[in-house]
Amino acid sequence: MKKTIKQIAAFMFAATVISSCDTVDFGDINDNPNGPTAAITSQLLSSAQTSVSSVITSVSGINYVQHITEGQYPGPSRYQGLTFSYNGWYTGPIQNLNEIIKVNEDPDKAPIVASFGDNNNQIAVSKLLRAYFLHYMTDTWGALPWSEAFKGIQGTQPKFDTQSELYTYMFAEIEDALGKINANAGPSGDILFGGDMDKWATFGNTLKMTMALRISDADAATAKTKFEQAVASGKLITSNSQNLRFTYGSDETSDNPWEDRFFSREDYLMSVTMMGFLNAKTDPRKFKYTKPAQNSAVPDVYAGAPNGKVNGNTKDFAFITDTVIGDPTYKVAIYTAAQTHFSLAEAALKGWNVGGGTAAAHQKMGIEASMMDWGVAAADMNTYTAANAGATMADIAYEKYMALYLNGPEAWAEWRRLDSPALTPSTYALDQRIPVRHAYDPSVGDNNPDNYAAIIASQGPDNLHTKLWWDKN
């Protein structure tokens, strides 16, 4: 009995102490006096921007469109990946950008973080970059959780926004961001463009132009309006001196991923498809895009490897040029003048206002921009353009495909949209169809079953072959 009474007394004492703690104000005893009082937005921005490299050097799209293929370990070129997770984008770079926007829009915190650059410019850069990542994501998976996402435990099962809704959101986001750009200090921590807000305006309008053309078969009226707005801005890349590229460091933590991929292995080879295209038109970029096989005894040192085959004798095939894979500081393209001119050529063919110039003129300028960017001699370039003066939709699609060499996401998206040039799926794949989207990770259906079921009913089967909203051809 005494033991029981003691236990009850002890419990009541503990409960009293715990209860009383709820009302005790410990002041700033647990605050670090040397810690930051607001987010260090420069670090958040730098961290988010490193993920741009993951977009522009991703390998799946490049294998799908057969710019390259693999050596002894074929995977993407056999379409072996069946499901893919987008979680890292939500918990990583996008979350960082959300925080930058949040603190710069907070009246109490904005004056503090203004030390990292003009508040509006920080918001503008973050919104443009967030739209860029979302564009990559939706063109990979299709519908995504967005308007109900980022709510923590208050929203663990967000609905999916359709791709049409996401494009509407992205256009609004870009336009809001462009309207905020001013001549004051750009954001600190900007490893892409060093706080140059003029380059960010060019980035935003180029993204807007790209998105507009992407939806031209699904929503022609909106596409025309948005494209012509981008043209009217005067902020598009029209010469190679304006090309937007990702700058890498020389150390192992910040160097060019392509150089890392060939540091101790030889996983990627030139595709027989790409080499066939280069040979068929005597394209002088052949000697700039590639380097000859290491085995000089083979019949053709510029032979491409069969797509999806176990190409164990890697030294028998042409490789990606050392300009790309041999330089840790090689600057990988984000957007280029060639892309702009091919887009203008297509828009002119559609009858849109491109600010001057015919489809044929922009087609020629696109080829020239691509070749000059890769160091092709003027005489060789002129011979090629004279022999390839056509500017039909098929001509534009082909030349854009060739100019987007190694830009996997854009090359894959434009090939899906234009269905050109004609590609033959790998005969070594179990399912001999080139993927047109990535399927959601299985955890999506497990953790958010109702909303997952709803979007699959709307969008189509969750596999690699359900076309996205804008993919109408």
Task: List the pLDDT tens digit at each of the 473 positions of the chain.
Answer: 334 444 434 433 333 333 334 444 545 555 555 455 568 999 999 999 999 999 999 999 999 999 999 999 999 999 999 999 999 999 999 999 999 999 999 999 999 999 999 999 999 999 999 999 999 999 999 999 999 999 877 778 999 999 999 999 999 999 999 999 999 999 999 999 999 999 999 999 999 999 999 999 999 999 999 999 999 999 999 999 999 999 999 999 999 999 999 988 888 999 999 999 999 999 999 999 999 999 999 999 999 999 999 999 999 999 999 999 999 999 999 999 999 999 999 999 999 999 999 999 999 999 999 999 999 999 999 999 999 999 999 999 999 999 999 999 999 999 999 999 999 999 999 999 999 999 999 999 999 999 999 999 999 999 999 999 999 98
The reply to whether 312 and 337 lie within a common domain is no
Q: Domain tally for the chain?
A: 2
The reply to whether 279 and 242 lie within a common domain is no
The DSSP bridge pattern shows strands 268-270 and 68-70 to be antiparallel
In whole angstroms, what is the distance from residue 188 CA to residue 91 CA? 22
- Which two structure tokens, joined as six digits, stand for 128? 């443009």
The reply to whether 183 and 104 lie within a common domain is yes
| Residue 434 within a domain | no
| Residue 429 within a domain | no
| Residue 15 within a domain | no
| Residue 464 within a domain | no
Q: Please calculate the CA angle 426-428-430 and round it to the nearest 5 degrees.
A: 100
| Residue 274 within a domain | yes
In whole angstroms, what is the distance from residue 455 CA to residue 461 CA? 9
Q: Confirm if 77 and 448 have CB atoms less than 8 A apart.
A: no
Q: Please calculate the CA angle 250-252-253 and round it to the nearest 5 degrees.
A: 100
| Residue 199 within a domain | yes
Q: Which residue type occupies 69? A: T
**Start-to-end CA span in the chain (Å):** 84
| Residue 221 within a domain | yes
The reply to whether 224 and 280 lie within a common domain is no
DSSP code at position 163: H
Pick the last residue of a domain from 325, 346, 362: 325
Pick the last residue of a domain from 304, 325, 346: 325
The reply to whether 94 and 136 lie within a common domain is yes
User: What CATH number is given to the structural domain containing 416?
Assistant: 1.25.40.390
In whole angstroms, what is the distance from residue 274 CA to residue 256 CA? 23
The reply to whether 321 and 338 lie within a common domain is no
The reply to whether 236 and 287 lie within a common domain is no
Range of the domain at 181: 41-68+86-247+331-422+441-459
In whole angstroms, what is the distance from residue 344 CA to residue 361 CA? 10
The reply to whether 202 and 61 lie within a common domain is yes
The reply to whether 352 and 449 lie within a common domain is yes
Pick the last residue of a domain from 274, 293, 325: 325
| Residue 78 within a domain | no
- Can you give the pTM of this predicted structure? 0.92
Contacts for 278 with CB less than 8 Å, ≥ 6 apart = 285, 286, 289, 290, 402
Cβ neighbours around 353 below 10 Å, total = 12
